[in-house]
């Protein structure tokens, strides 16, 4: 808004003008500039002169001319620093002001929804353990309220995740590594925040100090009448927003003697380091050289966006708003294109081609020129040894933090899932306002064992039927409590363990047949219906009790009411059934979501 509304970018000039307006002109207070200054002061920025500010670390930033991506990134970083500094006053969040959100949560979106939810409550501090219950009105007089329900020791977030012996088998770190993590600031061991390496700030300051060298030319002994310039940009760690380091290079080619002369190279100046900015800087350097030597120039570039945009700039008078990405460099390049006019041309070439495989000498010359520019761009990193070394140090630190983050977060998730899976709670009180329509005492476990003790009825007789009967014999344990298992869970478990498609009823023959023999495929819901009808039919023939009930099953995946079978199922079988379904979808909220399984 500031960029678009006020062409006079001098903040002081605007403020003084506003104060000395005629009395008849009423300016509402506070004005937009006052709000801008107040907001920037809140995140630790302060005004220096005209449109230049100093950020929370004293590093300069020009609000009007810096790339919009840099402005957004530094504002987000300053806001993070402000919030982290405020939250660090909490006991378990101590040291948060030295943590890095960008190193903590980059892989959060890559895990399933359940893991994302568990990780968020760990990071934001809403993962409560038993030690918080002593503050509850109903638990203040209970001496065991703050004890761990799994081992009986004093409970806390650190105890639950790193010390409780109940979870030793799911932790991925050795005891020595755990003690090292516990020695770090509390927000690391308690919530999983990752520290910002000191090398990051040094690297960022070095990037801000990189000089603009696009006019520092290595002049050739003889300048050809027509310039053939090969440009290229290079980038180290291009996928990392924290450790990117970009360079650019320009090479002059002579088609007469097949000679290539390195004209200019350097690192991309500024906070924002991308390959695209390196490509634009190389093109700007080539066009500036053409203007200084008063020569027509043809630029050979392997970046499609640069070629397309500069070609359009030759035909139309283009200008990029400062709110668009890389507007500072695009506008500079467009101005040079307008100045050169017909003396400028740009051609797209393929990158990283082998000159020895070219079809003719012209193509080999183009491939060689592009390769020379690429190598010169890589050589530019060695011309700045201090920045290059800081980049290496930063990459080493980030790699170590990535390894620690993955191990710490994986351990926290494993402990959280295990505690949820084996959660020990007090018996639920009866809800007098909303009484259950099904009494727990009235639910009798289904009898699904020994179906083949006596021969099956002829219409139920088929090879897949015997597979189902044998599988049902392995499903239950008489010592286990009754659980409501949906037919979807049972069929998923059956198909996974037996690699069978179950049974299907042939209406014309009035006979059950193997599902694998059917030419027409069935969806998961239809196969589940076939399993439930076969099991209930055989149970009725055998005189066994097999009465499903309509309720929400005991599952963390199937989240809707459906027909379920009361079974004394083995615990590992119930867990496996949910894991199989979870691999297809984190949660299933309707029968429709089951059809594509």
Window from 30-39, 203-212, 266-275 with minimum mean pLDDT: 30-39
Q: Radius of gyration over alpha carbons of the chain, in Å?
A: 35
Q: What is the mean pLDDT of residues 369-376?
A: 91
**pLDDT for residue 62:** 87
Mean pLDDT for the stretch of residues 128-132: 80
> Domain check: are 192 and 215 in the same one?
no
Structure tokens, 89 = 């006053």
Instruction: Answer yes or no: is pLDDT of 374 > 80.
Output: yes
Tell me what the mean pLDDT of segment 76-96 comes to.
Answer: 91
Residue 219 lies in a domain: yes
Domain boundary among 371, 392, 420: 420
Contact 292, 222 (CB under 8 A): no
Residue-level pLDDT at 423: 62
The answer to whether residue 94 scores a pLDDT higher than 80 is: yes
Q: Give the number of C-alpha atoms closer than 13 A to the C-alpha of residue 190, restricted to the C-beta side.
A: 20
- Asked if residues 54 and 48 have their Cβ atoms less than 8 Å apart, the reply is yes
pLDDT given at position 284: 95
Q: Kindly report which listed range (10-19, 78-87, 449-458) carries the lowest average pLDDT score.
A: 10-19
Domain identity same for 112 and 254:
no
Contact 68, 322 (CB under 8 A): yes
Of the pLDDT bands very low, low, confident and very high (cuts 50, 70, 90), residue 354 is: confident
Residue of higher predicted confidence among 174 and 146:
174
Q: pLDDT digits over 101-114, tens only?
A: 999 998 888 888 88
End-to-end CA gap in the chain: 49
Please classify residue 265 by burial: count the beta carbons closer than 10 Å to its beta carbon, then call 0-12 exposed, 13-18 middle and 19+ buried.
buried
Q: Read off the CATH number of the domain in which 331 is found.
A: 3.30.420.10
Report pLDDT for 560: 85
Same domain, 231 and 320: yes
- Whether the pLDDT of residue 23 is over 60: the answer is no
> Between 518 and 567, where is the model more confident?
567
Residues 454 and 568 in one domain: yes
What residues are paired with 99 via a beta bridge? Answer: 195
CA dist 276 and 294 (Å) reads 27
How crowded is the C-beta side of 155, counted as CA atoms within 13 Å?
Answer: 19
Please give the C-alpha separations between residue 25 and each of 18, 123, 128, 399, 409, in angstroms, as whole numbers: 10, 51, 57, 59, 60
Query: What does the DSSP 8-state code read for residue 431?
Result: -
Residue 396 confidence (pLDDT): 94
| 504 and 588 assigned to the same domain | yes
Q: Assess if residue 82 is contained within a domain.
A: no
In which band, very low, low, confident or very high, does the pLDDT at 19 lie, cut at 50, 70 and 90? very low
Asked if residue 121 belongs to a domain, the reply is yes
- Angle among Cα 547, 553, 559 to the nearest 5 degrees reads 140
323-339 average pLDDT score = 91
Angle between helices 463-472 and 524-542 (to 10 degrees): 80
Instruction: Give me the residue label for tokens 């064992």.
Output: 449
Q: Mean pLDDT for the chain?
A: 85
Write out the two tokens for 234: 């290079």
Whether the predicted pLDDT of 366 surpasses 60 = yes
Q: Is residue 70 part of a domain?
A: no
Strand partners, 505: 512
Question: Considering only 224-228, 270-274, 388-392, 433-437, which range has the smallest mean pLDDT?
Answer: 433-437
Look at residue 433 and tell me if it is in a domain. no
* pLDDT beyond 50 at 16: no
Q: Does residue 90 fall inside a structural domain? A: no
Residues 328 and 462 in one domain: no
pLDDT at 493: 92
pLDDT in tens, 389-414: 999 999 999 999 999 999 999 999 99
Cβ neighbors of 458 (< 8 A, separation 6 or more) are: 511
The better pLDDT of the pair 27, 583 is held by 583
Residue 109: is it exposed, middle or buried by C-beta count within 10 angstroms (0-12/13-18/19+)?
exposed
One domain, residues 131 and 267: no
Arithmetic mean of pLDDT, 456-480:
90
Containing structural domain, residue 114: 96-196+410-420
- Transcribe 149-169 into DSSP letters: TTT-SBP-HHIIIII-GGGTT
- CA dihedral angle for residue 510, residue 516, residue 522, residue 525, rounded to 10 degrees: 90
- Tokens 């009484």, located at residue: 435
Same structural domain, 55 and 143: no
Which pLDDT score, from 0 to 100, does residue 441 have? 60
Distance of CA 70 to the CA centre of its chain: 20
**Tens of pLDDT, residues 50-60:** 888 998 888 99
Read off the pLDDT of residues 431-459 as tens digits, 9 standing for 90 and up: 555 555 666 566 788 988 888 888 888 89
Which residue matches tokens 């979807």? Answer: 488
Alpha helices in 54-197 (DSSP H): 68-87, 101-104, 113-124, 157-158, 175-182, 186-191
Written as six digits, the tokens of 36 are: 């801008």
Per the model's pLDDT, the better-predicted residue between 267 and 109 turns out to be 267
Give the pLDDT score at 133: 75
Q: Which residue carries 């080999």 as its tokens?
A: 364
pLDDT on residue 518 = 66
pLDDT tens string 2-12:
555 555 555 54
Note whether residue 86 is domain-resident: no
Assess whether 379 and 235 both reside in one domain.
yes
How large is the average pLDDT for residues 456-463?
Answer: 90
Instruction: Say if residue 246 is in the same domain as residue 378.
Output: yes
Residue 429 lies in a domain: no
Check residue 21 and give its pLDDT: 45
Containing H/E element for 304? helix 304-315
Contacts of 209 (CB under 8 A, 6+ apart): none
Identify the DSSP state of 91. Answer: S
| 415 and 273 housed in the same domain | no
Is the pLDDT reported for residue 70 higher than 60?
yes
- Token pair of 116 as six digits: 């994302």
Which range has the worst mean pLDDT, 24-38, 92-106, 374-388, 474-488? 24-38
What's the structural domain count of the chain? 4
> What are the tokens at 349?
């070439």
Are 266 and 334 part of one and the same domain?
A: yes
């Amino acid at each position: 808004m500031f960029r678009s509304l006020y062409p006079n970018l001098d903040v002081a000039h605007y403020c003084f003008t506003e104060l000395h307006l005629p009395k008849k002109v009423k300016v509402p207070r506070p004005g937009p500039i006052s709000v801008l200054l107040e907001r920037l002061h809140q995140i630790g920025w302060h005004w220096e002169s005209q449109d230049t500010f100093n950020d929370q670390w004293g590093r300069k930033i020009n609000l009007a001319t810096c790339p919009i991506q840099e402005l957004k990134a530094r504002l987000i970083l300053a806001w993070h620093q402000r919030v982290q500094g405020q939250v660090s006053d909490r006991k378990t969040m101590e040291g948060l002001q030295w943590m890095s959100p960008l190193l903590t949560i980059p892989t959060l979106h890559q895990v399933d929804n359940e893991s994302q939810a568990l990780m968020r409550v760990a990071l934001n501090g809403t993962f409560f353990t038993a030690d918080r219950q002593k503050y509850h009105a109903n638990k203040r007089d209970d001496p065991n309220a703050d004890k761990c329900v799994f081992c009986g020791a004093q409970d806390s977030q650190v105890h639950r995740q790193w010390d409780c012996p109940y979870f030793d088998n799911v932790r991925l770190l050795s005891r020595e590594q755990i003690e090292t993590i516990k020695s770090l600031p509390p927000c690391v061991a308690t919530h999983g925040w990752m520290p910002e390496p000191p090398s990051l700030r040094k690297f960022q300051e070095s990037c801000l100090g990189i000089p603009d060298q696009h006019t520092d030319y290595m002049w050739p002994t003889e300048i050809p009448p027509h310039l053939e310039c090969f440009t290229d940009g290079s980038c180290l760690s291009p996928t990392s927003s924290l450790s990117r380091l970009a360079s650019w290079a320009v090479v002059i080619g002579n088609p007469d003697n097949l000679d290539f002369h390195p004209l200019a190279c350097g690192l991309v100046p500024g906070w924002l380091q991308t390959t695209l900015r390196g490509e634009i800087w190389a093109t700007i350097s080539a066009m500036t050289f053409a203007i200084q030597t008063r020569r027509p120039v043809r630029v050979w570039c392997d970046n499609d966006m640069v070629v397309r945009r500069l070609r359009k700039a030759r035909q139309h008078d283009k200008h990029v708003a400062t709110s668009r990405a890389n507007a500072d460099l695009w506008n500079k390049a467009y101005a040079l294109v307008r100045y050169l006019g017909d003396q400028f041309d740009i051609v797209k070439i393929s990158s990283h081609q082998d000159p020895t495989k070219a079809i003719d000498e012209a193509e080999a010359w183009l491939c060689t020129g592009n390769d020379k520019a690429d190598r010169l761009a890589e050589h530019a990193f060695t011309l700045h040894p201090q920045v290059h070394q800081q980049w290496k140090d930063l990459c080493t630190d980030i790699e170590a933090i990535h390894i620690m983050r993955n191990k710490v977060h994986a351990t926290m998730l494993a402990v959280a899932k295990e505690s949820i899976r084996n959660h020990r709670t007090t018996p639920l009180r009866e809800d007098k306002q909303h009484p259950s329509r099904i009494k727990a005492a009235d639910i009798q476990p289904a009898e699904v064992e020994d179906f083949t003790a006596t021969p099956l009825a002829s219409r139920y007789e088929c090879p897949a039927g015997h597979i189902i009967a044998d599988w049902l014999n392995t499903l239950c344990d008489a010592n286990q409590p009754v659980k409501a298992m949906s037919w979807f869970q049972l069929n998923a478990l059956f198909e996974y363990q037996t690699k069978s498609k179950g049974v299907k009823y042939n209406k014309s023959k009035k006979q059950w047949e193997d599902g694998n023999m059917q030419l027409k495929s069935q969806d998961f819901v239809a196969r589940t219906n076939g399993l439930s009808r076969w099991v209930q039919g055989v149970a009725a023939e055998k005189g066994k009790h097999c009465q499903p009930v309509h309720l929400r099953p005991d599952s963390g995946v199937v989240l809707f009411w459906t027909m379920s079978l009361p079974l004394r199922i083995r615990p590992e079988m119930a867990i496996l059934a949910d894991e199989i379904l979870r691999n297809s979808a984190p949660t299933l909220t309707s029968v429709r979501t089951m059809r594509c399984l």
